[in-house]
Every structure is written in structure tokens, then in C-alpha cells.
Structure 1
């Protein structure tokens, strides 16, 4: 009787714990999808529903991070199917995290986040998503090329309606802050100075106006001479001279 009661209590505890984990997982998925929706809005993704579809939402996240969404799908599928394989299963379970971390690094650069921010994503993805969803950062897809840009397997080359294509930066453009350029990357040399554009053919500058000179006085303009005999009066004699 005691064994039966103990088994029933253990089963009830496991059931309650399993229900608790289920509720936590649902809540985490709802919060994460809501944060993804806000990040997708910053990136210009059309259709809020895309952030709520399982697996598809992380494929879009990978695409925004310049990683092929099909690589993300393969990683999720391998982790789900082979997670029970001894030794290999736990390692394959880390594949989706590794692929999404690469995408998070690139998405963070486009939201003006330095490279160390990806560490926060690896350990606290919901916090990372929440910060990027509600801070004042703006989406800037023109950052330096990803190190795997020339890899046909990892690089994103898909085109989906409603999901903006991430433009490739022009050759020689300066990398964004926090971006480490791949080996062999050489930025364009800065210009030595500004050269004004050449004038169009046949253009002649207008002639300079003649220098202005003061007007000459009229001929014969001579100041009048003083009148003849105009002699100033003599000063008065001293007082002593009058007494004599």
C-alpha cells in the first residue's frame, strides 16, 4: 500500500513538473517570437506572422544574418532527428545554436552592436533579442562582408518575397564598427586630394570689368587768386609807445 502511494505521488510530481516545463517553454516561445517580430520590423520584413511560425522564423533570422536559411534548417533537423545518438547527439544539438550565433553576430552589426554582444546571445538569447527589439538602433544592412561570403554552402543566396535582400557592400568600402575583415581584405587607398571638375567644353569665364578711375577735374578749374593789396593789418603798438 505504501509503495503504491509513493509511486502515485512521484507520478503526480513528475506530471506537475512536466506541465510546469511546458508552460515555461510556451511562454519563452511567445516572448521570443514577439521579440523576433520587432527585430523583423526593423529589418523591413513584411508580415508579422513570419515571426510566429516555428523553424521558419529562425530561417528568416539566419537570412537576415547573411547565413543560408537552408543551413539553419539542416542544423535544426539534424538536432531533432539525431539528438538521441550517443556522444554525437549532444554535439549535433549544438548545431542550431552555432548557426544562429553566426547570424546573431551579423544581425547585431546591422543594429550597431559590437562583436562581443554575440556572447550575450549565446547565453541569454531572450535578453539579446529584447534589447535589439526595443532599443533605438536602426537597421543598416550595409556592413562589411561576412567571412563566409564566398562559401556557397553557408552564404545566403535565397530570395523570398517579403524578406528584403541584404545588399552586398561595394568593393573597398570601410567595414562597420566591430567588424573584423577576412584575411587578405585590403581597403581602398584614400584619395590624395580634391580635384575640382573640369568646365564644360566651350565655356569661357566672363571678362573682368575695367578698373574705375577717379574723374578728372574740368579744364581751367584754377582756384581764384587773392585780391591785390590785401595785406593783413599791422599789430597794435605796445602801450609804452603811446605815452612817448
Structure 2
């Protein structure tokens, strides 16, 4: 089922799209550069509180978390009495991200499995003592002039920084990644180029829902070429 995005202004030059909504939850696009939830700084606004205020609801609960620099689809619960059901729905869903990375891989598709151990600022890939992580990568297009590749990552597990640390391990870190990038030019990038693009799930009525976000304009501007995604 297709839904027309509902565009909402959260602040000056800050917008979101409501991509899907039902009685129990909604799917919205988090912009890059804003925290998903409340931080230690009480004066710093976060995406969840801003959206709740704009929608006129007392509270929204974030079911999936995106890093500060990551944009894209977020699932937000509208009532606490469905928390477990929403978490189960998200756990069983298919989640796909798009990214721009440094370099041009020789491979077009790759399944990467490893163990990830959580740390303070970053996570590490370890031989033992971590949690299993699996991602299926697909390169959609390459841009030799910029030495950049455009790709998609389907996560089969939900570990912190999973896509970012795996791409670094493969030698093709996410463009603009402040933690895992090799490049000294990272600070010059306008953002980190990782976007939660697609979520496929079964709703509470048993219907299969396929929700997609738009390719961010910053991606198009960075490669200076059109980008397309084949389902």
C-alpha cells in the first residue's frame, strides 16, 4: 500500500515526512544532524520531542534508533500499551539503508558476517565476545570522478554502528563518517551519507506494508549525478 508523505516543519530549515501512520504507530523521516531522542543537554531538542509537539501528542516512543548523522525512517509508537507488539513488528521487518562510501569495490554484492563488541564511542569487530552481525551489501552505482560508490545495505541483525563498522572493515567507509572514516577530508563533508531508506513489515491487520523514503538531496548533490534504486 502506498501513502503520500505528509510534510511537517519541525523548525527553521528542519522538515520531516510522515510516511505511514496507523492507530498504534507512525513512520517518519529523521533529518541528519539531530539526535533521535533526549540527550544529557536538556536545552538540546531532539527529533522525537519536536515531532510529538508538532503533532500535538503528549509522547512518542522511538522503536528504532538512528545515529546522529544518519537520516531516514524511524518507527515511533503512539501508545505504551502496544510496546511489545511494535517491538516484535520491527524485529520481524526488513530494513534497508542507502549509503555513499569512499572508493569503488570490485564486488557488486557481498554478505558480511562478523561479531561486534560495543564500546564507548565506537564498536569493534572481534573474534569472540561480541554479538553476531549480518549485513547484505549491494553496490548500485559507481562514480569514478568522485571516487565514490552508491550502495544499499540490508541489515539482518540490529547492532549499533553495524553498517558503518562493516564498511570500514571492507575498506570502503561511509562518506562523512566522523568515527570510522579513513579520510582527513571527513570534516569537510556536509553530513554522513547513510540513510534509512526502506522498511517492509506486516501491520497489525496482517497486511504487508512497503514503505520507502526519498533519496536525500544531499546524496544527489554530492555525486553530481542522478541516483536510482532498482527494487
Give TM-score scaled by structure 1 length: 0.25
Q: Higher strand fraction: Structure 1 or Structure 2?
A: 2
Give TM-score scaled by structure 2 length: 0.26
Greater Rg by CA = 1
